[in-house]
Structure 1
Amino acid sequence: MPTSYKTVYAGGTGEIIEKKSRFIATVIPITSEEEALSFIEQMKKKYWDAAHNCFAYVLGSNHELQRCSDDGEPSKTAGRPMLDVLLGEGIHNTAVVVTRYFGGTLLGTGGLVRAYQGATKEGLANSVIIEKQYGKQLEITTDYNGIGKLQYIASTMNLTILSTDYTDIVKATLLIPPDSLGLFMKKITEATNGRAIMEELDDVFYAFLDQEILIEKA
């Protein structure tokens, strides 16, 4: 399992012009192949009068699923170059359609490759891309004497407390990078004389965006 991966949080569009041909890239995040295929059909309907609607998409934390199409352009001059941009940038769970309006001048094989890659890069540049880190969720049950120590240790280790539930006891859920888990648990055990109960919950991928925490199960 990778320790981190990049993905599109909010899609965007970008356009370049090569010898009067317009290349319009539309980028979106996806969670399934069905979403990708639906998006591609939407773009074909939106740009029904275009010469080509070429696409590429990738799914999975290890790029398990990769698909692309030249949509009538010469073989390997559109879809594959677009896919290479996604793979080269390390982008996951993302689909892109590049729409071409023909400007009357042939670009040649190399020109097409550069144009489709350039449009894809422009679309990504206008999207919000985040990097998700692999982590663990840890639930700690302690008494009111222990919560202050927990909060102090978490602060010194720059760890995020996701929630704290106060009843007759205190339950806190933390987000912890795997390489910090052992040390944190050791410090909590020592600080509470072994009275704190710790339970590992879900493995997750997480990212921080504008003070918001984005979490998904790994």
Structure 2
Amino acid sequence: MSSYLTLARDARVEIEVKHSRFLCTLRRVPSEAEARALVAALRKEHWDARHHCSAFVLGPDAAVQRSSDDGEPAGTAGAPMLEVLREAGVSDVVAVVTRWFGGTLLGAGGLVRAYGDTVRLAVESAGTLRRDLVTEFEVSLDHGSAGRVENELRARGLVVLASAYGDRVTLLVGSTTPASVAPLVAEVTGGEATAEQVGERWVDAG
């Protein structure tokens, strides 16, 4: 697993079906604890709503998947919400649909459509972006050449993750093609700097 999709931005979308209001709050979250915290916060914020159904997918491999019908008939809310997230191929995402009952029963099919459609519209509103697993390298430079080298590394496709200033400038750079980093750093610095591999991390690729 070297990349996966997540949300480009958070979204909130509301629809009305036979006088029932369905409000989907869609957020990017890094953990199950934060997903559950959002459900709790929305339950408190919208205390007058009857249901706060939820679904979330977490991890680069989408290994954690949970859903809750929160009092709706089994399988009519959380499951269709989760299916929409799966179809979109997104992870590190939680969807919460808050429902205010409008007085008309929708039936199982109507509920499935309403909950699924609300999440689908929210995903469309949020858009997606790719996250890449990059290998991290440290590059130590003198102050005089640091700015030029940083610009050239960016122009050649490296991600500059951080920079630290001391006696020398240390750049933390990342790449999805680690074998290319050492020769590239040698080339743009005229052989004056080397790249030391220090780890891995996930970064937003756009």
Q: TM (normalized to structure 1)?
A: 0.77
Partner Cα separation in structure 2 for residue 39 and residue 152 of structure 1: 39
SS at match of 1:100: strand
1:23 positional shift? 0.9
Deviations 1:121-149 (A, max 9, x none): 22334446433222122112356797688
Secondary structure of 1:35 counterpart = helix
Matched, 1:203 2:200: yes
Q: 1:93 to 1:152 in 2, by over 3 A?
A: closer
Letter in 1 for 2:182: M
- The 3 A distance-change label for structure 1 pair 47 and 196 is closer
Structure 1 residues 60-91: Cα deviation after superposition (integer angstroms, max 9, x where no partner): 22122211111222221110110111122122
Post-superposition shift, 1:116?
0.3
Partner of 1:71: 70
Q: Give the TM-score, by structure 2 length.
A: 0.81
In structure 2, C-alpha distance between the alignment counterparts of 1:42 and 1:190, rounded to whole Å: 52
- Report the Cα offset of residue 156 of structure 1: 5.1
Q: Residues 182 and 194 of structure 2 are in contact (CA less than 8 Å); yes or no, is this contact kept in structure 1? A: no
Give the SS at the match of 1:22: strand
Q: Supply the distance in 2 between the matched residues of 1:38 and 1:100 (Cα, whole angstroms).
A: 18
- Tell me the distance in 2 between the aligned counterparts of 1:102 and 1:155: 53
**Residue 34 of structure 1: CA displacement?**
2.2
Q: 1:37 matched to which residue of 2?
A: 36
Q: 2:68 corresponds to which letter in structure 1?
A: S
Aligned residue type for 1:72 = G
Alignment of 1:2-21 (within 5 A): 2-8=1-7, 10-21=9-20
Q: Does 1:114 align with 2:129?
A: no
Larger CA deviation: 62-71 vs 39-48: 39-48
Distance 1:45 1:200, change over 3 A: same
* Stretch moving more, 129-138 or 141-150: 141-150
The more displaced of 76-85 and 159-168 is 159-168
1:205 alignment partner AA: W
Structure 1 window deviating more from structure 2 (100-109 vs 156-165): it is 156-165
1:168-211: per-residue Cα shift (whole Å, max 9, x none)?
A: 6553332222x2x21231244466675533211231111267xx
> More displaced, 68-77 or 199-208?
199-208
Number of residue-to-residue matches in the alignment:
206
Q: Aligned residue for 1:53? A: 52
Distance 2:27 2:147 in 1: 43
Q: Is the CA contact 2:152–2:188 (under 8 Å) kept in the aligned structure 1?
A: no
- What CA RMSD, in Å, does the superposition of the two structures yield over aligned residues? 3.0
